[in-house]
Structure 1
């Protein structure tokens, strides 16, 4: 239920949060299960039997062939215990934050490189204090409704909003300036704005910051002509954006997967955070699952390489020598090199690119799924271990602000569910180790002692139900540059496909599709197209076929006001007909994140290929200003 006293939601949760309780006990996994052969019938067993089966496989394989993947649905304590279990008990360096790897690894990397912290430097409350907000590649009106409520209140008080993205998303409707950018052109626009800030004297950052000289030389290559060439329409908006940024003294920036998943995502994020550093702006990260920030903080990255050497050495003093190196989860399932995969609540057969490639990797490995609901991936699991959902857990989570929040069970765990930290402790004892944790609070104490940025957390305050904060202030800041691939241009006859988040569903919808009201509201799968494209091609309701180099899908065409001309959109949450069948198994060099957005595709009706009827991104929407209102 809405809680007006909650400092995060302020009593304004989204429709998904308000209705998800209806499905919390529908179709859950109640007890451990084992399959004697792949795709065979799963039989219920006791916990001891299931854990011994897992332990046998872990003993029988070399550590380098074992991968542990953790998602943002678990608590900090669960993640920390699994990281220690992977590195210090199994001895594998292959442990990863699977949620961040397919979403915001590039974001975290750019923040760490430029701002010195892998998280937001601002808070949600700062949205009421900034004098300008720049949203780049994110659509909080759909993806983050509680945050968007705060943005709307700030807009009502007169705070200007700049929206930068390739899709004319719902959030753009309330923006003062809309910069519709060709995919991959975000770097050119952001660096041109930064150049104008420097030349106008609107900077808040001292020139003594390391990397400044190289940065200003880099910016010299970004003039207005280059920035305007990266826009799909209305180049005059660029001048308005520059004026707002130059004149701002308390700027805020936020980015989403429109940057992280696009071509040149690392370069665009580097340009955004360089601009934030130049302006002394606060940064907010648009994270996904409730604790994806915390899981990364706990060291869930290959070989714990996301920790500094000081904190890693402190962990080794307690746990013994830890392995280094390791592979990411995306490399593990797309390269097919893992012999044992242990994963927390996730569904890579729905969420990863090229599901057929992922399927082969899972068929070749011994798979352990710690999950609350059965899904496509759990059908390939050799062992299934039931785990609680968040309202059934104890511990802490760290949200996108880096606010550390205590978690207490609102209801008892379902069936015989156990938290991941309990599973890790039990497995370690079977394997001849003792991690010496008897409660979640035992792990919380070690987190405060070892995890970078968590040393100032007050344990007593957490015990009393009070939120705490991990380190947020920028430190060891520096300017940086990253290779800019430039705007992506579709080849003749090609459309650009973009993944979209549904207003009704979380991620793949494993839980929310079980809620009848949300399922009815979202309707069936559809390929979204610009309204004019649908009209000119006569496609309303017609089943179309969309093909990339990775695969094809078929679904009815439907007009949408947010899709530019020459683009196609499709919801990630659609079941059965999967968006990811169209995503090639290509990974970003800098973050090993898949490229989910702006995939070149071909469009067919009845075997006939249809070309885009207008230049890429051409608009059919006229924006008129009348007394400050936009229509």
Structure 2
């Protein structure tokens, strides 16, 4: 146990921590003032306000050091508030203020300015030096839709520059000039709008003054309440701190203590929130009469839906009714929707975009490992040596994870492999970019496995102890015609060979794949190949390795987990097996259907054949997103009764007979499950706008009207029910999710799982 001293008191130190980390861990975050330091940035040492005195022995000679970047050492005596340190800090701040306009009372960040706070902390009452430059001549920049700047307020701490470099990896901001003329510039000394800024807002959050801000004045202290919730835009699952005033959202920040995004978010997560109370939001149920929508009461809408569903169920049977749920909705709402269709209606005709886009991932990984979800966490990028990204453009589709992948790729010691027909942003930084022809993933991955086997780079120990069927697999791979594979895929064999060797010889290698893999006829097989690459090289079951699908919408993983698919119920249980049928029937208290239901394309086919009379669609704009738009429209027109639950009048809603106004993610509570199996708490920030209802409560209302007794929607109540039927949710409790959620499987005692398959695969051997 290593000891260092803070103001003569002994404390245990951790390997690798700085003096500032050491001090704040024991004395609190405000024990040492700082200006250039930020929780998500590397130590820099620009301002020296964090200076402390350090002696190597008790009573020894003291030396003044910047605590933010100086490592703490065993036996050190650190003094945080000696008279000389206090004098130094005060002098530094006085010098900063000579170059800063003192218009605090009218400044946007008055009361929430770090310079103002530190000035008070070090005891500034007057500035002894002559007035320097105030830089008020610097033109304010309001050119950008979201970001603003007033560089007269800049203190040259470099935090914005470092945030743009270290967090987003965009390198838009830099420092130009010297002395009093030193200033932050964007691009080639352009405006924000003209620069390559991607509007992530990392610089805004990093800036300690109002030099860089945004149009929402997110650093002003006007907010009366801040609520922690989860972003709804993609499968990364970023945490958001949403600020409100009088029940209205005013700004969003990214919390530094979020394990998923660590103080970062993208343009959408930070700034695209105004939709929640947009004038075009649906604010009343609508019933189509004589071809036109008319506003109706909830009771009137419910009465019509109930009568129609009962009629079709009685006249034609439950299989003439279908439901489509939404990966935008919470786990609890998706669970309720599939339960409603299976218990209150009595059919397995339930589907959603999660199965449409990601079932190849689930099936491919289930066949290979036994579990169809990411094996590792995004945090493992800190522990890997090689990444392979195939069929994904994460800097566009998953910006926060994409930024981390880009940061990884830019470091010279790391190896990155990008397999993509396009030269994506990530491909431009890759060690190896394999520009294959679209649809030839299988050929390229076969080539990689051929070279790994033929070069003798397989992990024989791992293969022998944890896999089966290797000899047959090896013989099949080595029998392939590599020239034919290269011809089909249009890639250079030597390039593939180098990439394969790099992947196989890296101490730790991770793979990431997206819809460019799964949305192909051979998608399931390709996912199995990616998994086989990991098995061949032993890259499974520890930090910094694994197979990690990049999920599309925010709750794709959760939607599938909850049973929104026609062949599997909640927890991926096969609805055709007798023991599963018995389990569901006993748990739900009704006999559940036993035949596999319609997939979404089959629903449309059935409608056109007169075999589907009613469909209920929640949060899916199938007219816009499904292939063959005209066929989808004809299918909806051929369906006697269409219910659409939405926020806006979408193209799909236009073909509905009843439209029900649901609630946005800012207006409801529940959970989302991100791409790394992390179940996180979504907390209502504001009340649902007048005339709307939480989607889960709408489903509950209709379940009760259709004769199935279901308690009112609450996130804690629903999680209690889900934990009893979904095995890997067994230990998940609403009140224990905390700030960072839990990664399933979660044991009954609440212990979660960051890494899958550490000792064995669920299916036995891979």
TM-score scaled by length of structure 1: 0.72
- In structure 2, do the counterparts of structure 1 residues 154 and 477 end up closer, same or farther at CA, with 3 Å as the change threshold? farther
Aligned length: 476
User: 2:533 & 2:387 partners in 1: Cα distance?
Assistant: 13
1:546-602 Cα shifts (integer Å, max 9, x gaps): xxxxxxxxxxxxxxxxxxxxxxxxxxxxxxxxxxxxxxxxxxxxxxxxxxxxxxxxx
Q: Does 1:314 align with 2:583?
A: yes
How far the C-alpha of 1:10 sits from its partner, in A, is 2.1
Match of 1:10 among 254, 262, 269: 262
Q: Does 1:302 align with 2:528?
A: no
1:489-527 Cα shifts (integer Å, max 9, x gaps): xxxxxxxxxxxxxxxxxxxxxxxxxxxxxxxxxxxxxxx
Match of 2:441 among 182, 186, 192: 186
- Does the 8 A contact of 2:463 with 2:535 survive in 1? no
How far the C-alpha of 1:34 sits from its partner, in A, is 0.7
- In structure 2, do the counterparts of structure 1 residues 311 and 76 end up closer, same or farther at CA, with 3 Å as the change threshold? farther
- Does the 8 A contact of 1:87 with 1:303 survive in 2? no
Larger-Rg structure: 2
- In structure 2, do the counterparts of structure 1 residues 203 and 76 end up closer, same or farther at CA, with 3 Å as the change threshold? same
Partner of 1:86, secondary structure, is helix
How far the C-alpha of 1:429 sits from its partner, in A, is 1.6
- What is the aligned partner in structure 2 of residue 142 from structure 1? 396
Partner of 1:191, secondary structure, is helix
User: 2:764 & 2:606 partners in 1: Cα distance?
Assistant: 35
- In structure 2, do the counterparts of structure 1 residues 334 and 350 end up closer, same or farther at CA, with 3 Å as the change threshold? farther
- In structure 2, do the counterparts of structure 1 residues 228 and 83 end up closer, same or farther at CA, with 3 Å as the change threshold? same
1:138-217 residue pairs with structure 2 within 5 A?
Answer: 138-157=392-411, 158-204=413-459, 205-207=462-464, 209-217=467-475
- What is the aligned partner in structure 2 of residue 106 from structure 1? 360
User: 1:248 & 1:154 partners in 2: Cα distance?
Assistant: 14
Match of 1:41 among 292, 299, 307: 292
How far the C-alpha of 1:478 sits from its partner, in A, is 7.3
- In structure 2, do the counterparts of structure 1 residues 312 and 163 end up closer, same or farther at CA, with 3 Å as the change threshold? farther
- What is the aligned partner in structure 2 of residue 476 from structure 1? 762
The unaligned stretches of length 5 or more in structure 2 are 1-251, 540-545, 746-754
1:171-215 Cα shifts (integer Å, max 9, x gaps): 211111011112232112112212332334433432352343442
- What is the aligned partner in structure 2 of residue 74 from structure 1? 329
- What is the aligned partner in structure 2 of residue 271 from structure 1? 529
- Does the 8 A contact of 1:138 with 1:258 survive in 2? yes
1:312-349 Cα shifts (integer Å, max 9, x gaps): 64332121321131111122124534221111111111
Match of 2:346 among 91, 100, 105: 91
1:396-545 residue pairs with structure 2 within 5 A?
Answer: 396-462=671-737, 464-471=738-745, 473-474=756-757, 475-477=761-763
Relative CO higher for 1 or 2, CA cutoff 8 Å, sep ≥ 6?
1
- In structure 2, do the counterparts of structure 1 residues 269 and 447 end up closer, same or farther at CA, with 3 Å as the change threshold? same
Match of 1:30 among 278, 283, 305: 283
RMSD after superposition: 2.1
- In structure 2, do the counterparts of structure 1 residues 236 and 213 end up closer, same or farther at CA, with 3 Å as the change threshold? closer
- What is the aligned partner in structure 1 of residue 619 from structure 2? 345
- What is the aligned partner in structure 2 of residue 54 from structure 1? 305
- What is the aligned partner in structure 1 of residue 167 from structure 2? none
Q: Does 1:224 align with 2:482?
A: yes
- In structure 2, do the counterparts of structure 1 residues 18 and 406 end up closer, same or farther at CA, with 3 Å as the change threshold? same
- Does the 8 A contact of 1:210 with 1:477 survive in 2? no
Partner of 1:138, secondary structure, is coil
- Does the 8 A contact of 1:211 with 1:479 survive in 2? no
